[in-house]
Each structure stands twice: as structure tokens, then as C-alpha cells.
Amino acid sequence: MTTHSVMTRFTARRAAAALVLIWGANAAAAPISGIDLRYVDAAVRPQDDIYRHLNGKWLDSFKIPADKSSYTMFTAVYDKTQRQLRTIVDALAAGGGGDPDARKVADLYASYLDVKRVNALGLAPLRAEFARIDALKDKRGIAPLIAHFNRSEASAPYDIAIQQDARQSTRYAVDIAQSGLGLPDRDYYLGKDAKLVKVRHQYAAHIRKMFELAGIADAAQDAAAVMKLETAIAQIQWTRVANRDPVKTYNKVRLRDLPALMPNYDWTGYLAAAGLGGKIDYVIVGQPSYFKELGALIAQTPLSAWKAYFKWHVLSAAAPYLSQPLVAENFAFYGTALRGVPVNRPRWQRGLSLVDGAIGEALGKLYVARYFPPASKARMLALVDNLIATYRQDIGTLDWMSPATRQGALAKLAKLAIKIGYPDKWRDYSALQIRRDDLYGNVVRADEFEYRRNLAKLGKPIDRTEWEMTPQTVNAYYDPLMNEIVFPAAILQPPFFDAAADDAANYGAIGSVIGHEISHGFDDEGSQFDADGNLHDWLTPADHAKFAAKTRALVAQYDRYEPVPGFHVNGKLTLGENIADNSGLAIAYKAYLRALGGKPAPVIGGLTGDQRFVYGFVQEWRGKVRAAQQIVFLKSDPHSPADVRVTAPLRNLPAFYSAFDVKPGDKMYLPPDQRVSIW
């Protein structure tokens, strides 16, 4: 899950499960199928490729908008939500007055749209930051400088997050983890594929161009130094697969022992500048070997290179809020070169993104009041309850759970918290100052506000009312530390839900996604957390072995997919999400049968209930992605590509075979002994 705040930017354990989602409801009196058959490619049999069979004409004809790197049916929901939000902020601007938070929303948005003032200021907003870096006299000053950047959007060699202690989930702790790269993943620095090498060269040229625009005298030399230093950082970082292990990334280190982790590093200065002095007596270190090698890297790298590095990350983070030449060059690399997007988003959309990240719950409160009726929340809760009841029943039948493990699973399911739509308690933004004539200052103050808000959690009880996404976010997540599933309001709307459709399509769509989120509590990561959110092993060794055998087979299945020539799905990186996709679909089908109450499903539009269930699942993942963006996803995203998220789980679902008469020789066919069944 991605947030604006630097304090919650590192959420490796917390954000196990962000995933796009839809909303469903019970069948109407005269139900329709709810399946969109306009794009069926009759030349492709569902038994050979059901994704292309149902979506083929759309895939062949639809062109990704010039300002987007990909487009899915969920993008359509996002675009609709953006238009709704724009209506809200435009009304605030026209109406004046309003409550203080509403005024802050309007003023922040207006400060972003004031292009004339932003262009007139040029690089002036960064003068103080550059002066702070230039004042660095020796490497001892690097520690407090990193603390300063941890309070802002600028990247640094490591980052911190304040969240629940995974071994003691009733208290907050400080997590510290590797960071500091300008490219999406270490493979972009170290990989030998020609596409990655090309991006590296483009990135180096981009740094130089940005330095030139910023008036830095030794732009070429400094850009080369930054590239060399980031490559060295990439070499010592852990891989994304390694970072999926919640046990290996939990390393409790007392403050007095930090010097042993990084000798000759001013940890006292860091803690003081970070505002942590006297508030904690330990930190959770994500990658101990990285920090040991980082200490050596700091010692070996000239101070001038570190100054160039820090200036680069300040400039790069600030670029979207500066004058047009910097905005254009920033997009030319991160939008076009890296992701293949020809045109930047309209400025009003970028302004809404800033508001959402900086003061999102204030905007969300207005959004919910206008677009999310209370009845929607009640209907969603009913559907979730049916999925949970199905999980509860299924736990008693699983071949990989012993009685002891079943007891732990039922306990965890019983304590699962459910959040629908919006938080019960809205965030207090009274301490945040927003000025209509100070865009960059607003960004800095919003970062500092969020940092201090999180800092204030230390020593206090866990706030279980807090949300990690705003109500207008088109997404959902499972949090293993809270043991909760969260579904924001924005995604709980059409076009994916059809009130006139029967249960089959809705269970195939929303049901599979609810099942997906719940299953994260029992996947290879989530299963290591108990009912109270503690990193505590509640599976027996024998059950671990059975589960591991199933997941190894799943890794092998997904490793075979090659969405871009030369770039395969990483079955280990995507394992948690793949487990959830397969589990969510399987449990949603059982929940659908449960909803039928023993009655036969009607045939609607020539489609059986099982066929509509499968099609409902397939159509929600309709989408296209640019090749460059797909590579970024394959290197950094724990989710598999959309078409893989359809075909791989369906090949493991017995109901798919009976619904479409899939037989040996069909391309979608997988022999029974090779199918993976977890739930």
C-alpha cells in the first residue's frame, strides 16, 4: 500500500495485501446474468484461454489513454471517483467558507493549480534544502541529515515507520529498513537485460538534466556520482523476495547496540534529529546485513558524492511541485522512459492526488457524505459475513490442517476485524497549516504533520480505528498486525456491481476479492501472525510441511508465465498474492453454493450459474498494460499480471472444468495431480 507520508511509506509487513476490488449484492427479483458478452472473441475457446475468450475484442481494440501506463476496469472506477472528487473541490472553491478542514482541502488544491506562481518561484523553494546539504562539513553530519529527510518525501539510504511491534502487537515500535534508490528495484541497477540497461542509461541522463535545470555547476560529475552511489546501495540491499520473510526482517536491536550495527555512525545525532530521543529503547531492523555494509559504504564514499546524492533526492521528490521545466523532465523519465506513458495526467488530477495524500480523510469525509449511502455499508457487511462463515466451515475440511492448527485458524478468523467504507473516527487536521499561495511549503508541512502524528503514537495504546487508506481509494487491504480487512468506500460502486444481476456474477467478482483479502491471514506470510497480530507460529511442523508443498507447486506454476519476452513472473515474489487469488476464488465459489441454499442456479442468457460465476471473475480483471510498465510490475509488484490472475487460479478450480467441459488436450487443462488446492 502506498501513502503520501514518509512515516508510513515503509509498510512491508503491514501491507501484505493491497488489491483492487468490486462490490456486489443479492439478486433482484428478475435477475440478469451480469456478464458483459460484448467483447467475446468467438475464435478463442474458453477451454484454451478464457481471459481472451471473454475479453478478446476489447483487448484488440482498446487503446490505453496517453496519460496512463495501464488501464483496467478498476481504472474506470478510479476515473469516475476522480470526477466525483473534482466536483467536490470545485464546489468548495466556488462556495467559500465551509469548515476549517474543507477550506484546507480547497486551499491545497488551489495552491497546486496556481501554475503561474509556481513557475515564477522556480527553484526558490529548494534553496534552504540545498543550503542544508552544502553545510555538511563531515560525514558525522550524514546521520541527522538522513533523519531530516525521513521527515519528508525525499528518499534516503534508510527509512523508518512507526507501527505495531510484530512480536508485541499491543505496542508501537520503530521499524527501520533499507531505502534510497531512484529506480523501482535493485534489478534495474544490476540486471543485464538490454531493457534494464537502457533504463539505467536514461536514468543517468535524467539526473544530469535535472541538475542542469537546477543550476548545479558540476551536473555531469554529480550525476555520475549519484549513479555510482545508488548502484552500490542496490548491491547491498536485500531482494524483494527476501524482504517477504517477516521473521528474517524482524531484528530487535537495543539503542545501545546500534553502534555495533553501524560503527562510527552518529546514531545519537540521528535519534535526536528524528525526534526519537527518550521515546524508545529499541528499533526493529529490517535488513541487518544491509546496515552493516551501509556503514562501510558511508566511510568509503567521498562526502561530495553524498552531497550530490542528497541534492538529487531532494530535487527528485520536489520536482512535481516546482516549475514546469522540472515537472516536464521528471515526467519524461518516470512517466515516459520508465513506464512508457506518452502524456502526463491533467494537472487537476495530479492536484487531487496531492490532496488525497496530504489531507485525504478531510476529502474523504466530504466524499462519503455525498457518494456513499449507509445502506451500501450494510449490504457489504452481509456479503463479508457469508464469506467468513464459508471459511469457518471450510477450515474443518482442509487436508493440510491438523486439529491443533484448525483451532488456531478458527481463533484467528473469530478475531478478524472488518472495516467497510470509512473510518469511525476521522483524522484531526487542526495542527496542519495550509496556505493557498505556498504549494511546496504545504507539501513540507503536510509531511511534517504526518511524521509528528505517527511519532505521537509511541507509548500510547494501539489505535484500532485508524485506516491506512482513504475512503476514496480504489483498493482494499489486509493488515496482519491488526488482523483486519479493509474495504474503502470508493471501490464499492458501479460499474462492476449490477443490482439486477443474480448472485453468481457478484460472487465471482466481489466474492473472490473478499475471499482474497481474508485468505491473507493464512498465506505464507499471514499464517505466521496469530489472532492478536503477533509474529507467532501457530501451525504445527507437519502442517507447515504440507502447506509448503502446496506453495512450492504454486511457485512453479507462476514461474512459467512470461508476460514480456525475457521477463517471467516471479513465483516467490508474488506467492502471497497468488495464494490469495487461488484461495479467494475457491472460497467464493463455496460461498456462492452456500448462498444458493441447496436450490439449483437458474440458467440466464444461456449461461449456467457456474459459468456466470467464472465469467464474473474473468471480467473484473479485464485490462491492458504498457510493456515498460509491465516490467516495472514484474520487478517490484507482489501481484501477478491481470491475465495470469485469471487463468492460473481457474486452472486450479474444479468448478471451472465442469462449467466449461475442459478436457485433456485443452490449453487451460491441468491434470488433477498438478492442481493446487489450498482452500
Spell out a b/e string for 137-147, using b for 16 or more CB atoms within 10 Å of the CB, else e.
Answer: eebebbbbbbb
pLDDT mean over 539-558: 95
State which residues form the domain around 218: 120-344
Instruction: Tell me whether residue 281 is in a domain.
Output: yes
Give the contacts of 192 (CB within 8 A, at least 6 positions apart).
Answer: none
In a shared domain, residues 381 and 319? no
Does this model's pTM top 0.75? yes
Residue 164's pLDDT is: 98
pLDDT mean over 381-394: 93
Angstrom distance (rounded) from CA 582 to CA 574: 12
pLDDT digits 0-9 by tens, 283-334: 999 999 999 999 999 999 999 999 999 999 999 999 999 999 999 999 999 9
In a shared domain, residues 411 and 311? no
pLDDT band at 25 (very low <50, low <70, confident <90, very high): very low
**Crossing angle for the helix pair 194-213 and 303-318, to the nearest 10 degrees:** 90
pLDDT digits 0-9 by tens, 463-506: 999 999 999 999 999 999 999 999 999 888 765 676 678 899 98
Neighbours of 213 (CB within 10 A): 20
Instruction: Tell me whether residue 221 is in a domain.
Output: yes
103 CB-contact burial (10 Å; exposed 0-12 / middle 13-18 / buried 19+): middle
Which region among 144-153, 206-215, 372-381 has the lowest average model confidence (pLDDT)?
A: 372-381
- CATH code of 623's domain: 3.40.390.10
Residue 194's pLDDT is: 97
Angle at 36 between CA 32 and CA 40, to 5 degrees: 135
Residue 94's pLDDT is: 84
Angstrom distance (rounded) from CA 152 to CA 190: 28
CA distances to 92, 164, 204, 246 from 167, in Å: 45, 9, 42, 11
DSSP 64-98: --TT-SEEEHHHHHHHHHHHHHHHHHHHHHHH---
Instruction: Tell me whether residue 480 is in a domain.
Output: yes
pLDDT mean over 19-47: 73
H/E run at residue 307: helix 303-318
Which region among 91-95, 171-175, 257-261 has the lowest average model confidence (pLDDT)?
A: 91-95
Instruction: Tell me whether residue 597 is in a domain.
Output: yes
Residue 538 phi/psi, 5-degree rounding, is -110, 5
Angstrom distance (rounded) from CA 273 to CA 670: 58
678 within 8 A of 583, measured Cβ to Cβ: yes
Mean pLDDT of the chain: 93
In a shared domain, residues 76 and 194? no
Give 170's DSSP letter.
Answer: E
647 CB-contact burial (10 Å; exposed 0-12 / middle 13-18 / buried 19+): buried
pLDDT mean over 118-125: 97
Pairing of strands 70-72, 484-488: unpaired
- Alpha carbons within 13 A on the beta-carbon side of 157: 29
Instruction: Tell me whether residue 101 is in a domain.
Output: no
Residue the block writes with cell 515516459: 336
Instruction: Tell me whether residue 22 is in a domain.
Output: no
Residues paired with 392 in a beta bridge: none
In a shared domain, residues 382 and 326? no
Residues paired with 604 in a beta bridge: 607
Instruction: Tell me whether residue 37 is in a domain.
Output: no
- CATH code of 160's domain: 1.10.1380.10
In a shared domain, residues 57 and 135? no
In a shared domain, residues 610 and 552? yes
Spell out a b/e string for 149-187, using b for 16 or more CB atoms within 10 Å of the CB, else e.
Answer: bbbbbbbbbbbbbbbbbbeebeebbbbbbbbbbbbbbbb
Residue 19's pLDDT is: 43
The gap from C-alpha 481 to its chain's centroid, in whole angstroms, comes to: 16
In a shared domain, residues 221 and 293? yes
Residue 2's pLDDT is: 32
pLDDT band at 383 (very low <50, low <70, confident <90, very high): confident
Residue 29's pLDDT is: 54
Angstrom distance (rounded) from CA 523 to CA 678: 10
Instruction: Tell me whether residue 525 is in a domain.
Output: yes
279 CB-contact burial (10 Å; exposed 0-12 / middle 13-18 / buried 19+): middle
Helix intervals (H) in 153-300: 187-190, 194-213, 219-236, 258-261, 267-273, 288-300
In a shared domain, residues 610 and 652? yes
pLDDT band at 96 (very low <50, low <70, confident <90, very high): low
**Domain tally, the chain:** 2
In a shared domain, residues 244 and 161? yes
Give the cell for residue 636. Answer: 517490484
In a shared domain, residues 517 and 614? yes
Angstrom distance (rounded) from CA 602 to CA 580: 29
In a shared domain, residues 278 and 386? no
Give the cell for residue 512. Answer: 473472490
Q: Answer whether residue 95 shows pLDDT above 90.
A: no
Angstrom distance (rounded) from CA 367 to CA 361: 9
Nearest Cα to 484, choosing from 420, 538, 547, 426?
Answer: 420
Give the contacts of 114 (CB within 8 A, at least 6 positions apart).
Answer: 436, 437, 439
In a shared domain, residues 557 and 616? yes
324 CB-contact burial (10 Å; exposed 0-12 / middle 13-18 / buried 19+): exposed
Nearest Cα to 586, choosing from 555, 539, 608, 554?
Answer: 554
Give 11's DSSP letter.
Answer: -
